[in-house]
Structure formats: C-alpha cells, structure tokens
C-alpha cells in the first residue's frame, strides 16, 4: 500500500504546483510564494530523491530561467542522520566483514549527513585516519520508485501542456535517473578518486585523498582523512591570489589534459591543507571530456577571448550546445552582441561560464541538445568562478585564460592519438595491402569485359526514403482530389435534390457523399499531423 500512497502524494504535490502556476498566470500580482519557490519547497518536502532531482535540474541553465536556477541552488541537501547501528550494519554488509575486523576505531556520531549518504570518522588497524561514507539504506530502490512516478507525471504534463514537449521532459527525467544511479554507486566514485590521484600525483600544490583499496563497495566508500581550512575561510585570504592561480591551473589541467574534472568545486569541497595545498573532496559529480570535446572547448575559449563570433559559433556547434536548423547570420549577430557586452566590462568581471550559458540559450529553446557532461562543465565553471573571486576578488580570469589557453591548445594539437588508434591503423593498412592484388585483378577483369571502358559504380544513400516520401505525397494529393470531388458532387446532389430523402427533405446520396468526404478529410488531417507536414 505504501507505493500507491507515495505515488499519490507525488502526483498531488505536482498537481498543486501546476495549479499555482495557472493562478500566477491569471493573477500575476497575487501574494505568496512564487512558482520557483514553491517548486523548491515541493522537492524538499518530497524527500531525498527529489532533492537530488532538483540539484540535477539546477544544471539545466539551457532550459530553465534564472529565477528557477536561483531557487534550485538553495536546495538543502542536509537531512537528519540515520542511526549508527544501521550505519554499522550497512558497512558490515557492504564490506563483508565485522566492524571490529575492519577498523580499530569507528565513531558512531556522523561528521556529516546528506540525502544520499552520511560520513563517519574511523581509524584503520594500521593507524591511518579515514572517513567512511555509508549510503542510506534502501535509497537506491526508493530512487527507482520515485523516478518511475516522475516519468508518469512528465508524460501527463506533456498531454496537458503540449508546448512543453519540445523540452523532452520524459527524456530529461530518464537522463537524471541514469546519473542518479551512477551517483549512488560508490564504486564509480572510487574509480574517479583514483583517476584524480594519478592525474595530480606530481603536483606539489594539489592533494587528493585516495580511496582505500579493498574497502569499497556499491554502498560503502573508505577514503583517507584529510582536512584543513575551507577555501572561503578568512584565514586563507592572505594566500588567496596564489591559491586562485593554483585552482585555475588545476582546472585547465583537468579540462584539457586529463579529460576528467571535478564538477562541484564549492567551498565545502575544497580545503587548504596546513602545507598550503588545495585538497579536493567529494567525487560523486564529475564530468568527462573526449578529445573532440576538449578541442571544441579550446576553440570556444579562444573564440571568446578573441571576441570572434564566427569562431565561437563554430565551436558551439562542434561541442553540441547548438544544433538543428538555424539561421547562421542571426546566430552570429546574437553571439556578436554577447561578446560586445563583455567588451564593455572591466576584465575582472568577464565570465566564461555566463557567456557559455548565454550561447546555449540562443534560439529560445529551438536548438536544445546540450550533452550532460557539458552541463556539469557549466556548473563547474559557475561555482569555480565564484570560488576564485572568493580567493582573489581582483583576479582577471580572462588574462589567465588567454595566457594558459593558447598553451593548452598547442598541447592538444601536439597530442598523439591513442595507441589503440595507431594499432588499428597499422592493422588496417596491413590487411588492405594483402587485399590490393586481388582487388586490382578483379578491376582489370571487369575493364576487359566492358571492352576497355573503366567500370564506375555509383552508390546512393537515402533515395529509398525520398521515394517513399514522394509516394506518400502523391497519395495525399490523390485522396485530397477525391475528397474535393465528393464535396462538390454532394453539394450538387443537395442543390438539385436528387434521390431518396432522409431527415425530412435531405437527399440521402448527398448525406453519404458528405460523410465519406468528412471521413477522408479526417484521415488526411491525421496523417499530416503525424508526420508534421505535407
């Protein structure tokens, strides 16, 4: 009975939100919560799944207006901790050993609790201080149940408000669901941690606490304990300019060299160690950048800093943040306006994150298709820029990007293709070389058979579908002509009162003709609506 009641509660909450939106549309000056504020409070009231859903939606600056983004940024992820006895049981079940065997000490009082997990301090048998991240019991099946209900709500919303279908709400919910599943699997987070440890192992300015081998499962993650001052602590301000430069270098390295970046660099996840190193925490949200995406991002960065709208637009298309049908000249003018606005600002107020978001919003939602990893990138840029300005309010981010961006671009150009690509190329060349004599012999034989003429074969693609579309169009024209004939013929029968009568003095043949004409008109209209055009 719990599942239907939960689904009913979710449906009722969103129905109330929909009614508020309608009321606000009819009476904009009414007092009380705004729709974005009510949306945030609704998500908080519905529990952990919807808090995480709202946090994921806060990435969608390409879809949501600023007032929604501001409201969702205030979502609270702090919830009451679950009992230590449950935490101990989850640890023993996840790691398949008793707590006493795993740890010399395990603190029952959690140091932090959030919607997905809570964290306990502990000490290993070898004396190392660690943190133990324990997933909330039953959170994974609860997320699955809630997201299925949310998909049903999204489908209903599309039926009630068809204009929202262009935002593909069902697909959006499914994408968020997929990423929530990844976030609740701590094995993936441990893999992320190890990749960051490897990426920064030679950096004297960056520290990444490693995951402890053999103490990781889907629901439990044990990681080396590390601390210090938060990055926004007043105690670190005297060293702020240096730390800001270190953070910029670290992120450029992540973006353009590693291809993997920390997606949530807010002050709670960045600490300054006593040695003056920046320590990264919480690798549940990371983004991945392929070689092609890294090159596209480098091009976007160069187009932005050089105020070149054509270059910026081409990079945006390559990245996938713009696409579909577009008037190129109009988009170039729009990007030129964005870049012109920045040209009039002081350099310390330039924001790559803001410019990136403005470009994704071009086309009023008609050119949507931003890849998920670039949404994480936008979030990292926004939060990272705010953190940088906390460390150094006078930092001219643009100067740093110009100085380092070209260096990173040259590194990308010099980057060798993966060994797998080179190995495949060598194998393909070797196989092709073996096949060349036989292929040449076949070609010469065909030429002899054709009387010395060179045989040329033309292969086409897509003509079958074009033929089907032409046939469909011809069929529609034929049906339309028959329908028109039925309307004309029925009107003549009605005018001259030919044949038997029904309904008093209405010619039966005219009624039959009109009925057939209406039936064909309905089928023709339905066919056109399904395919989206004539």
Pairing of strands 206-207, 278-280: parallel
SS3 170: helix
Closest CA to 497 of 511, 483, 487, 484: 511
20 backbone dihedrals φ, ψ, rounded to 5°: -65, -40
Cβ neighbors of 302 (< 8 A, separation 6 or more) are 308, 311, 315, 405, 406, 409
Query: Which of these, 533, 295, 315, lies nearest to 413 by C-alpha position?
Result: 295
Length of the chain (residues): 534
Task: Round to the nearest angstrom and report the end-to-end CA distance of the chain.
Answer: 49
Q: What are phi and psi of 134, to 5 degrees?
A: -115, 125
Is 264 among the residues known to form the active site?
Answer: yes
The span from the CA of 227 to the CA of 273, in Å, is 6
DSSP tag of 506: E
Q: Supply the angle between the helices 48-57 and 169-183 in degrees, to the nearest 10.
A: 110
Question: Pairing mode, if any, of strands 117-124 and 129-135?
Answer: antiparallel
Residue in this structure with the two tokens 């940024």, named with its chain if needed: 73
Following DSSP, what letter does each residue of 409-430 receive, concatenated?
Answer: HHHHHHPPPPHHHHHHHHHHHH
Here the tokens at position 177 are 């669901």
Q: Please state, in angstroms and rounded to a whole number, the distance separating the CA atoms of residues 189 and 325.
A: 38
CA-CA distance, 259 to 116, in Å (whole number)?
Answer: 26
**Long-range pairs, 154-160, Cβ under 8 A, ≥24:** 157/14, 157/18, 160/18
Q: HEC profile for 332-347?
A: HHHHHHHHHHHHCCCH
Query: How far are the Cα atoms of 132, 269, 344, 507 from residue 259, in angstroms, in the given order?
Result: 28, 20, 33, 77
> Residue 160 corresponds to which tokens in the numbers above?
């009630």
Q: How far out from the chain centre does Cα 305 lie?
A: 25
Instruction: Please state, in angstroms and as integers, the Cα–Cα distance from residue 157 to each residue in 11, 14, 120, 165, following that order.
Output: 11, 10, 42, 9
Rounded CA Rg of the chain = 31
- Cβ–Cβ under 8 Å, residues 42 and 16: yes
Which residue among the candidates 62, 264, 282, 314 is catalytic per the annotation?
264
Q: What is the DSSP letter of 305?
A: H
* Helix, strand or coil, per DSSP, at residue 230: strand
Round to whole Å and give the CA distance between 32 and 453. 84
Q: What are phi and psi of 224, to 5 degrees?
A: -55, 135
Report, as residue numbers or ranges, the catalytic residues: 264
């Amino acid at each position: 009975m719990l599942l239907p009641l939960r689904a009913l509660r979710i449906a009722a909450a969103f129905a109330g939100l929909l009614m508020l939106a309608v009321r606000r549309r009819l009476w904009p000056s009414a007092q009380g919560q705004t729709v974005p504020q009510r949306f945030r409070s609704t998500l908080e009231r519905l529990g952990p799944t919807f808090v995480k859903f709202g946090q994921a939606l806060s990435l969608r600056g390409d879809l949501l207006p600023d007032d929604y983004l501001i409201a969702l940024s205030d979502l609270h992820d702090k919830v009451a901790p679950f009992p230590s006895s449950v935490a101990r049981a989850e640890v023993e079940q996840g790691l398949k050993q008793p707590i006493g065997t795993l740890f010399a000490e395990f603190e029952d009082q959690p140091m932090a609790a959030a919607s997905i997990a809570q964290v306990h301090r502990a000490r290993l048998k070898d004396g190392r201080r660690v943190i133990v991240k324990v997933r909330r019991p039953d959170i994974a099946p609860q997320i699955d149940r809630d997201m299925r209900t949310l998909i049903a709500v999204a489908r209903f919303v599309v039926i009630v408000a068809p204009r929202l279908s262009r935002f593909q709400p069902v697909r959006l919910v499914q994408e968020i669901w997929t990423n929530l599943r990844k976030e609740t699997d701590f094995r993936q987070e441990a893999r992320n941690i190890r990749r960051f440890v490897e990426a920064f192992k030679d950096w004297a300015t960056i520290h990444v606490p490693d995951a402890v081998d053999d103490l990781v499962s889907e629901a439990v993650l044990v990681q080396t304990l590390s601390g210090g001052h938060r990055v926004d602590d007043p105690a670190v301000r005297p060293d702020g300019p240096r730390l800001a430069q270190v953070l910029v270098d670290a992120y450029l390295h992540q973006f353009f060299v590693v291809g993997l970046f920390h997606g949530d660099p807010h002050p709670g996840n960045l600490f300054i160690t006593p040695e003056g190193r920046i320590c990264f925490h919480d690798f549940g949200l990371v983004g991945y950048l392929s070689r092609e995406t890294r090159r596209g991002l480098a091009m976007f960065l160069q187009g932005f800093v050089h105020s070149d709208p054509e270059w910026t637009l081409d990079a945006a298309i390559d990245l996938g943040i713009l696409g579909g049908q577009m008037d190129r000249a109009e988009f170039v003018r729009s990007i030129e306006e964005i870049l012109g606005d920045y040209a009039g600002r002081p350099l310390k107020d330039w924001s790559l994150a803001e410019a990136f978001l403005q470009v994704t919003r071009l086309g009023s939602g008609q050119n949507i298709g931003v890849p998920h990893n670039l949404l994480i990138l936008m979030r990292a840029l926004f939060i990272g820029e705010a953190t940088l300005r906390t460390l150094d309010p006078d930092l001219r981010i643009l100067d740093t990007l110009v100085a380092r961006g070209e260096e990173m671009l040259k590194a990308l150009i010099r980057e060798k293709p993966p060994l797998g690509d080179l190995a495949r190329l060598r194998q393909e060349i070797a196989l092709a070389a073996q096949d060349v004599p036989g292929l040449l012999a076949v070609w010469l034989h065909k030429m002899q058979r054709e009387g010395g003429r060179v045989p040329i074969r033309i292969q086409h693609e897509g003509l079958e579908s074009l033929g089907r579309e032409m046939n469909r169009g011809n069929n529609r024209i034929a049906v339309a002509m028959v329908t028109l004939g039925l309307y004309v013929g029925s009107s003549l029968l009605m005018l001259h009162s030919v044949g038997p009568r029904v309904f008093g003095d209405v010619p039966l043949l005219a009624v039959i003709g009109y009925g057939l004409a209406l039936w064909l008109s309905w089928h023709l209209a339905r066919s056109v609506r399904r395919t989206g055009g004539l």
